[in-house]
Amino acid sequence: MTVPRTDAGRGRPAPPGGGLIPFPAVDEVSRHCLSGDEPESVHLEVHLPGRLDPARLREAFRQALLAHPRVLVREVPGRGHRRSYAWEPTGEPDGDPVAFAGRGPGALARARTRALADCPPLTVSPPMRLDVVEAAGEAAVPEPPADAGRAGSGTGTVLLLTAHHTALDAPSALRVLATTAERYSGTPALPIPGRVRPDRPDPAPGGTGGTGRTLRTRPVRVAPDARPASVRARAAGNGMLQADLPVPRRAAPAGSPPPWTVNDQLLTAAALTVGRWNVSRGRPPGPVRITMPVDDRPRGTEMPMGNGTRLVEVAMAAEDPRDTDLLLGERPDPAAVARLLRTTARRTRALKATRGSLWGAGAGLLTVPLLPVGIRGVLTRGARRATAPWTSTVLVTNLGRVPYGLDFGDAGRATAVWFSAPARMPRGLSVAAASTGGRLHVTLRWSRALLGDAAGADLAGLFGEALSAVSLAPAPQLAPAPSPAPVPSDDPEAGPDATAGSADADADGVGVGAGAGVGVGDAETGARAPRGRARGPGGPHRPDTPRPDTAPGAAHPTRDHRERPS
């Protein structure tokens, strides 16, 4: 089959004539590596304080799909001897992608389980579906603030959008929901501020190279849980836990920008979590490498749909080897954490400022249409297995502060936005975060071939503690000003100026809250855990860490938003 090549598959709108769109390299590599045991799904939740009208929502979602025609595509069927995969723009949905999942304490849990286990098919347009879950007086939907809108108390709705990651990423899915809100409420779209990126990359520290890759050292893997290897090998699907946390604070001297972003804090917390987890399982410490998606697309209505984020890797090794013991001790040393944060901030600034292909030259070579797709698929899967030891330790993706109002009119504005990214082996772990209303909504998702639900809950508790430690890291002080001349005796109050902390938005648009970061188990109180309750890497976990809830339909705290692992 001969496919006319266009640029639409690389994020540009589909051609007016409806020509076929060849798979870009990112889509093709994902298509080659699909597995029924570990679905390639993107799960996105928007929590609303009120209820939606079903007919209006269906029409608003349909209008949103028509406004983004690149979403209305399906895979062209074909055999393995063809030279390329292709998307076929349909112009209209093949069916009704909106489903109302009912109400009740177990409805949201079932919808999440489906999102993690059942990908929308690529052969149906659009490759996404929207499940609507109503809640009446249940803890699954957080209570909105008193001035949140016109919704009545004790009611709520969750919009759960599931997209196939071969076709769409999380920012594209969120853009579709933002357009749906605009069509539902009838309010025009507001201008979306652009992202702030440094003009030039800083010098790459610590011998990581301009791309942040450490080529000579294999990154550590997340240590598996204590289940027998044969049991883990038979496990299928993903588990997931969500947490509602304060946005970690970023102290800075007065008049100076914060030395690191919230995104840098998330990366550092993930590295500390993996390091302490591995030490508690008897694994030696080693370099942690984190895959970080970077999205350079505009976020307005003109945003290109598809997989538009480029993946970069951040080496999280400390520059001073002596800091390893200080970071992985019973309580991470604040000064060592601050040094790791400064190193991470320099590396991420350089990576964000560097432009490059989405998946690098290797993926481009594997997808050159010189061989049939069947042969290229075998080569791609073989390359993936061969490079598994060098795969990054964990994926950390941060949407930042959600730039859209997500105002659904009489149903109110979104009170929370959660999402999760795939967690396929050999990496097996992903951390996803978004900020709404001054709160940080974090989702940990893991492969059950690596961790069981109880182990995943323990890991989530460690992440909460690590984020708390990172938020308390001291900011570097400004160099002292030259000593002033002797003050005359008639001016006794002259002296150096005092400094105060500042709260700005970071480069990714994440807002900074006033409260310090807390552990997952302390999100309900909003206060940091006492130091005496901190957990050492090898010690017993705190009893208030979120664990799988085996009782069906059991209630969960509202502010903490702990959920039974899906």
pLDDT computed for residue 502 by the predictor? 31
pTM to 2 decimals? 0.77
Give backbone dihedrals phi and psi of 434, rounded to 5 degrees, phi first.
-150, 150
Question: What is the token pair recorded at 469?
Answer: 């430690």
Low-confidence stretches of the chain (pLDDT beneath 70) = 1-18, 136-155, 193-216, 251-257, 356-367, 475-566
**From residue 298, how far is each of 55, 110, 332, 490 by CA, in Å?**
31, 34, 38, 58
Q: How large is the C-alpha radius of gyration of the chain?
A: 24
Half-sphere exposure of 139 (CA within 13 A, CB side): 13
Count the Cβ atoms, other than its own, within 10 Å of residue 99: 14
pLDDT of amino acid 52: 93
SS3 239: strand
Put the strands of the sheet holding 73-75 in their side by side order.
21-22, 86-89, 73-75
pLDDT of res. 38: 85
- Rounded to 10 degrees, what is the CA torsion of 184, 185, 186, 189? -100
Q: What is the pLDDT of residue 363?
A: 60
The predicted structure's pLDDT at residue 420: 94
pLDDT at 124: 94
Tell me, letter by letter, the H, E, C secondary structure of 431-449. EEEEEECCEEEEEEEEECC
pLDDT of res. 509: 36
- The count of residues in the chain is 566
pLDDT reported for residue 357: 57
Tell me the three-class secondary structure of 43-109, residue by residue. Answer: EEEEEECCCCCHHHHHHHHHHHHHHCHHHCEEECCCCCCCCCCEEEECCCCCCCCEEEEEECCCHHH
pLDDT, residue 196, reads 57
Name the β-bridge partners of 429: 446
Query: Looking at residue 13, what is its pLDDT?
Result: 46
Cα–Cα distance, 255 to 57 (Å, whole number): 47
The angle subtended at Cα 340 by Cα 242 and Cα 535, nearest 5°, is 50
The pLDDT value given to residue 18: 55
145 burial (CB, 10 Å; 0-12 / 13-18 / 19+) is exposed
DSSP for 309-360, written as a single string: PEEEEEE---SSTTHHHHHSSSS--HHHHHHHHHHHHHHHHHHHH----SSH
Gap between the Cα atoms of 255 and 252, Å rounded = 8
Q: Cα-flanking dihedrals φ and ψ of residue 393, to 5°?
A: -75, -45
Coil, strand or helix at 394: strand
